[in-house]
Structure 1
Amino acid sequence: MEITLVLLIIFVGLVFDFTNGFHDAANAIATSISTRALTPRIALAMAAVMNFAGAFLGTEVAKTVGSGIIGAPHGTSGLTLVLCALVGAIAWNVFTWWKGLPTSSSQALIGALVGAAMAASGTVYWSGVVDKVILPMILSPLVGVALGYTLHLAILWTFRKASPRRTTRRFRMAQTVSASAMALGHGLQDAQKTMGVIVLALVTAGWQDDFSVPLWVVAAVAAAMAAGTYSGGRRIITTLGLRITQLDPPRGFAAETAAATVLYITAFVLKAPISTTQTITAAILGAGATRRASAVRWGVARTIVAAWILTFPGAGLPAAALYLLVHALTGL
């Protein structure tokens, strides 16, 4: 029974990672597509390759997710908990993709883990949730807004005497680099969260003693995310690239560079799982606000923020309900 559950968790985990890829494809490429720096086909292929590569850059965030959020009971009960959490996170990802809302797959996964753990009367490491999840997820959008705004102001001042046509052309080319950096950072951050859940299942089943990430887990997760990214999330690309604010290449470059900077700092320095979606959306808001505050469609932004707030319970409640249902029917 445990073998079946572990294999099922690995499969469902890879499905979640695939949904993460198509749900969050917009994070890296929406601005480049909206400014016509890249065609959709080229942008998606580039993002898929960089997501794949980014997954191999580190595992510290995976260890945080695997060991620092919940303490799943050993055996079939713990494995059932993990499986229900994955299903809850997938359900929220699909729902918000259908609605075209750029919500956080990271928050969905962690919210689902916490919800399922509470339903199972398991251990939730609330200090870890607050320090390593809640605070970074609150601070990262704020830093993203500030960096996006500041970086674009610096670009405006530096190129204030340059030819607008030539400047636009140069930044359109530069966006290839900034979009690649953003896609690499997305692979670094988001792939590790699925790695952490799979490793949690392996430890829960007693298949390994620590939370180190095997190479086969890294490779499988990287491939699933790359495939999901290439399939694209065009609904969310439209929201991020067009509906929040009108972007030009310099603003797109500023937003992507600011967001990528936050992703690398939190992954390598803080070892914290943050939302790439929230970070790039905040950076777009910051870069767009340099034109004037009214240039940002704040009504769309408010809808996105509301979806962020609802993500934790939106994924946690279905995961908890599913665990209770499975437990009642099977006793697992």
Structure 2
Amino acid sequence: MITSSLVLVICLALLFDYTNGFHDAANSIATIVSTKVLTPFQAVLWAAAFNFLVFFFVKEHNVAKTVSKIVNEHFVTLHVLLAGLIAAISWNLITWWFGIPSSSSHTLIGGFAGAGITNALYMGANGISAINLKLVLTTIAYIVLAPLIGLIIGYIVTIIVLHLSKSARPASAEKWFKRLQLLSSAALSYAHGGNDAQKVMGIIYVALIAAKVIGTGSAMPEWIPLACYSAIALGTLSGGWKIVKTMGSRITKITPLEGVSAESAGAITLFFTQYFGIPVSTTHTITGSIIGVGLTKRLSAVRWGVTINLVWAWIITIPVSALIAAGVFALLRAIA
């Protein structure tokens, strides 16, 4: 049955998707803006178009299926989903305000899990029994693995590209790499849309099951992907300029060649994890790729002080989101 609570959950889910877009826009456009291949306005238009283009080509939503199973169905209620979304949106806005490229994916998962655990405790059950521990631990493992994979691929791609272009004239090479950066940025934007929008699809799908609008195992209604890809694309159009500055210049100085390598490495990593339904962080992945590119020059080319601060933000995202969600759930339960 469609209730006001269900409508609110869907609206908040799409609002989160929107904040994900402008929070994570930097992942796709930071290098292409910092190398002056496109202006900021052109870059967000380019990225948003490829965020939405995924809707026409991706029909298997493996990441959405994974997110929908983070909290065991017995403990999922609309209040759990509301609390998780409020926590995720709050942390997204806080980190955006301070220009911290934290993970929108992990704040959503942390909020959902935290609210589910709290609901289990209120029901007199073991809190850990509320979550699919295997999926949560896999997600946590990829806090380390996603940037590491991105770093390794970014390093390898850069070395290969440098080797292939070593005999080219610098001016000619830079011209071609600026053109190639349009393709690599498009691929990263496409991967970002396909990876991140699916997480919200999983939340809305679970909400429909919790509200008994559809049954467990039912096919996902077509309007959910359409709404989610639209929301993330609109969010990307809004930009995220504070985070663009961090990603595009504060980690390491990026040239067009390095931009192509970093974006290609990020896209490859995201396509791989999306295929296996692993809800990784786009932010972590591209940050690792940028570091890998920087390491091909020298160890000191990477500003490790900035990088360490980013890692701390990544580490605390899931527990902080879970705690915020727990508090919001307790409040919702008290006033319900």
TM range (shorter): over 0.9
Q: Work out which of the residue numbers 243, 255, 258 in structure 2 matches 1:236.
A: 243
Q: Could you tell me how far apart the structure 2 residues matched to 1:37 and 1:325 are? A: 48
The reply to whether residue 264 of structure 1 matches residue 271 of structure 2 is yes
Q: Could you tell me how far apart the structure 2 residues matched to 1:240 and 1:167 are? A: 24
Deviations 1:212-237 (A, max 9, x none): 32110111111111110000000000
Q: Could you tell me how far apart the structure 2 residues matched to 1:219 and 1:161 are? A: 46
Give the drift of 1:137: 3.5
Flag the 1:99–1:25 CA change in 2: closer, same or farther, 3 A. same
Give the drift of 1:17: 0.4
- Give runs of aligned pairs for residues 16-165 of structure 1, distance below 5 A: 16-56=16-56, 57=58, 58-66=60-68, 68-73=69-74, 78-121=77-120, 123-131=130-138, 133-165=139-171
- Give runs of aligned pairs for residues 170-209 of structure 1, distance below 5 A: 170-209=176-215
Residue type at the aligned position of 2:233: A
User: Does the Cα contact within 8 Å between 2:143 and 2:314 map onto a contact in 1?
Assistant: no
Q: Could you tell me how far apart the structure 2 residues matched to 1:139 and 1:128 are? A: 15
Give the drift of 1:69: 0.6
SS of the equivalent of 1:302 reads helix
Q: Which residue of 2 aligns with 1:4?
A: 4
SS of the equivalent of 2:186 reads helix
Deviations 1:287-332 (A, max 9, x none): 01111111111100001000000100121111110001111222xx
Q: Could you tell me how far apart the structure 1 residues matched to 2:38 and 2:4 are? A: 44
Give the drift of 1:2: 6.2
TM-score in terms of structure 1 length: 0.95
Aligned residues: percent identity? Answer: 42
Deviations 1:63-104 (A, max 9, x none): 1111x2102447xx7110101100000000000000101110
Q: Which residue of 2 aligns with 1:303?
A: 309
Structure 1: where are the runs of 5+ without partners? Answer: none
SS of the equivalent of 2:90 reads helix
Q: Could you tell me how far apart the structure 1 residues matched to 2:2 and 2:329 are? A: 16
Structure 2: where are the runs of 5+ without partners? Answer: 121-126
TM-score in terms of structure 2 length: 0.94
Q: Which residue of 1 aligns with 2:255?
A: 248
Residue type at the aligned position of 2:237: Y
Q: Could you tell me how far apart the structure 2 residues matched to 1:137 and 1:304 are? A: 12
Flag the 1:28–1:101 CA change in 2: closer, same or farther, 3 A. same
Q: Could you tell me how far apart the structure 1 residues matched to 2:156 and 2:77 are? A: 46
Q: Could you tell me how far apart the structure 2 residues matched to 1:248 and 1:48 are? A: 23
Large movers: runs of 4+ above 6 Å: none
Give the drift of 1:120: 0.8
Alpha-carbon RMSD: 1.4
Give the drift of 1:271: 1.3
Give the drift of 1:162: 1.3
Deviations 1:130-180 (A, max 9, x none): 23x223332111110001011111111111121111111110110000000
User: Does the Cα contact within 8 Å between 1:141 and 1:282 map onto a contact in 2?
Assistant: yes
